[in-house]
Amino acid sequence: MCGIVGYLGTLKAAPVLLSELRCLEYRGYDSAGVAVIEDGQLAVLKAVGKLSNLETLLSDVQPRATVGIGHTRWATHGVPNDENAHPHLDCTSTLAIVHNGIIENYVELREELMEAGHQFRSETDTEVVAHLIEDELKEDPDDLLTGIRRALHRLKGAYALGIVSQRHPDKIFAVNHHYSLAVGIGVNETFLASDSVAVCQYTNQVLRLEQSEIAEITTAGARLFSFAGVEVKRNPVELENKQFVLDKQGHKHFLLKEIHEQPLVLRRTIGKYLLHPGKKINFAGSSAHGNYGVHLSDAELARIDRIKIVACGTAYHAGLVGKYIIEELCGIPVDVETASEARTRRLLVDNRTLAVAVSQSGETADTLAAIGEAKNRGAIILGITNRPDSHLSLVCPNLLVTECGLEVSVAATKTFTAQVACFYLLALYLAERKNLLPEDRIFALKAELLRTPALIERILANQDDIREKSIQYSDAPGMMFIGRGIHYPVALEGALKLKELSYIHASGYAAGELKHGPIAVLDERVPVVALTIPGTVYEKTLSNAQEAKARRARMITVAVEGDELVRKTFETVFTIPPVSEFFSPLISVVPLQLMSAFIADHLGKDVDQPRNLAKSVTVE
Ligand code: AGP
């Protein structure tokens, strides 16, 4: 996801912009740039690659410039290079723009503008907006707000924009249309960012742009306008003062730090809603961004007769685990779909459907579109996110927030287990509120859920052994992950982790599917990872593993301590503490996370920012 920042105040702008961009670096990017105004002159500097390349250019730029915008780009239209990096300029090079999102009708607009004589410098969709504003300013060059508004009416797509003009050196304009933008309000200085983590190093007073709003930003603060030009009054909110700390806490990678944070994250997330097995689950809550929590009425709860989960990537895998959990405890049919697919079809939901969107960032375009469609069709809406200040939090009247802290590494780990924990909590909440289970069963389930963080700690204490066992598979041409029942989504998640971290192709399959085709790829080069946890599918999974072993595959398993049977089948055993099949996904995923992290590190990959990936995919 691209990052947008801005600064207006008394400090030298370039270092502030760079510092804000560093806070967004974790989201993945391939080029960066800034535009600053000094003595009425606009200067644009940009560089492909890491921020350090841009920093080199900025060292002595425009020392008196105290206003500017900046951007980290994750390429969508046009290859990563200096020309395609943002900011982009109009023909007169007096107006600069940075952009997050996609302008869907940019081709026709570009042609129209080129016919009108505009000269383009890049291959991007973004540059069209700069020339469009220039075109709309012809009537009144000084009324930039009107020029912007007119240009917006000609755009199609979802976007966030930052704009500066040397005709207005004391202002920044920002536009939000189905994205996220926050204005940080300081004392005689103002900040802009597409993610509030970039401003909370300077101020905790934040004014969020909601959908289809324009902000006119000065050192005194920001005025908000609708696209129709009507002023909108809204007060800033106070962010909890969580300083965004770029600190690996002694770990080699943020990924390892975040894998190790999981016990703490689960204690915080579970404990936020469930204090004791004898207590009811309390989903009420509030945050700086207004009330979040689950506020399902008795009537809504009585009406719910099916659940639809929409999500992407790892969040989708958490949703698949959620299906097993909710169907097992509540007997309510659950349908899980990747959001990108759910939005392409006729979504069969209604006011008896609880539609659940799962997204750690709360900014994933496909997930936002899918849950928006479900809302339009009358479904009861609930979100699970790690970011109460995200776009998702604005569209979900019921919101469960995971207490992960910022997840910096692009590969999701702690947010996965926290999302799964929220599904256990949601299932128990529904079972309680709809009287679906006896009290003693609910008590026992809550007690076991509360014990899971300690089980993860026992695995993490054993990570050196896991590392030694893992790196021997770094030369694998590919890898297969198999599981049955509630273990199947964990197999999918294990395969995704290996792919996105080590770039080794990996597939996750329902173990019973192996003999229906996938087994053809197996031979002595290919490792197969099987989840063999005691429970209803243990024996069948073992026999599926035997089928793979018979093809001379290199057999790896995640099994519980003391299980000697598996040692007859598997050359490598990652052990986990004894845990029920039902709660095992929270535990069995951890060795798979560590295995992929160690293989990727052993191969010298960019573990925290894998190639081609962004932390939040805000484009469709
Ligand atoms: C997972 O490791 C990936 N980073 C990716 O699949 C991610 O889970 C997906 O893009 C969804 O992101 P979200 O949770 O922010 O919506």
Which residues span the domain enclosing 358? 254-455
Q: Does residue 533 sit within a domain? A: yes
Q: Quick one: 17 and 165 in the same domain?
A: yes
In whole angstroms, give the CA distance from residue 320 to residue 335.
9
Q: Quick one: 116 and 178 in the same domain?
A: yes
Q: Does residue 387 sit within a domain? A: yes
Joined together, the tokens standing for residue 185 give 């309000």
Q: Does residue 14 sit within a domain? A: yes
Asked which of 404, 436, 455 is the last residue of a domain, the reply is: 455
Answer whether the bond into residue 87 is a cis peptide, omega within 30°: yes
pTM of the full predicted structure? 0.81
- In this prediction, the residues of the chain whose per-residue pLDDT falls under 70 are 1, 241-246, 285-291
* DSSP bridge pairs for 453: none
Q: 378-405 pLDDT, tens per residue?
A: 999 999 999 988 889 889 999 999 999 8
Q: Kindly provide the b/e burial profile for residues 564-585, where b requires at least 16 CB atoms within 10 angstroms of the residue's own CB.
A: eebeebbebbbbbbebebbbbb
Mean pLDDT of the chain: 93
pLDDT of residue 481: 98
Which amino acid, residue 340?
A: S
Q: Quick one: 311 and 228 in the same domain?
A: no
C-alpha of residue 369 to centroid of ligand 1, in Å:
15
How many residues does this entry show for the chain?
Answer: 620
The kind and range of the H/E element at 125 are: none
pLDDT of residue 389: 82
pLDDT of residue 80: 83
Q: Does residue 612 sit within a domain? A: no
- Catalytic, 312? Answer no
Ligand 1, CB within 6 Å, residue ranges: 312-315, 359-361, 364, 367, 410-412, 500, 616-617
Q: Does residue 221 sit within a domain? A: yes
User: How many distinct structural domains can be found in the chain?
Assistant: 3
pLDDT of residue 6: 98
Q: Quick one: 351 and 320 in the same domain?
A: yes
Supply the residue whose CA is at minimum distance from atom 10 of ligand 1: 313
Q: Quick one: 265 and 330 in the same domain?
A: yes
Asked which of 424, 455, 486 is the last residue of a domain, the reply is: 455
- Catalytic, 23? Answer no
Supply the residue whose CA is at minimum distance from atom 5 of ligand 1: 313
pLDDT of residue 246: 67
pLDDT of residue 79: 78
Q: Does residue 610 sit within a domain? A: no
pLDDT of residue 289: 52
Joined together, the tokens standing for residue 406 give 């910022």
In whole angstroms, give the CA distance from residue 276 to residue 67.
52
Joined together, the tokens standing for residue 227 give 């696209």
Q: Quick one: 284 and 359 in the same domain?
A: yes
How many CA atoms within 13 Å lie on the side-chain side of 464?
Answer: 1
Q: Does residue 500 sit within a domain? A: yes
Q: Which of 257, 272, 497, 615 is catalytic?
A: 615
C-alpha of residue 613 to centroid of ligand 1, in Å:
10
pLDDT of residue 197: 82
Q: Quick one: 292 and 426 in the same domain?
A: yes
Q: Quick one: 258 and 387 in the same domain?
A: yes
pLDDT of residue 81: 83
- The CATH number linked to 11 is 3.60.20.10
Cα–Cα–Cα angle for 107, 113, 114, rounded to 5 degrees: 90
- The CATH number linked to 468 is 3.40.50.10490
Cα 498 to Cα 240, 505, 555, 572, 598: the distances in Å are 35, 8, 16, 17, 10
Q: Which of 18, 16, 67, 21 is nearest to 41 (CA)?
A: 67
Q: Quick one: 157 and 185 in the same domain?
A: yes
User: Is 277 buried (19+), middle (13-18) or exposed (0-12) by CB count in 10 A?
Assistant: middle
Q: Quick one: 217 and 317 in the same domain?
A: no
Joined together, the tokens standing for residue 459 give 């695995």
Q: 443-455 pLDDT, tens per residue?
A: 999 999 999 999 9
* DSSP bridge pairs for 173: 163, 216
Q: Does residue 247 sit within a domain? A: no
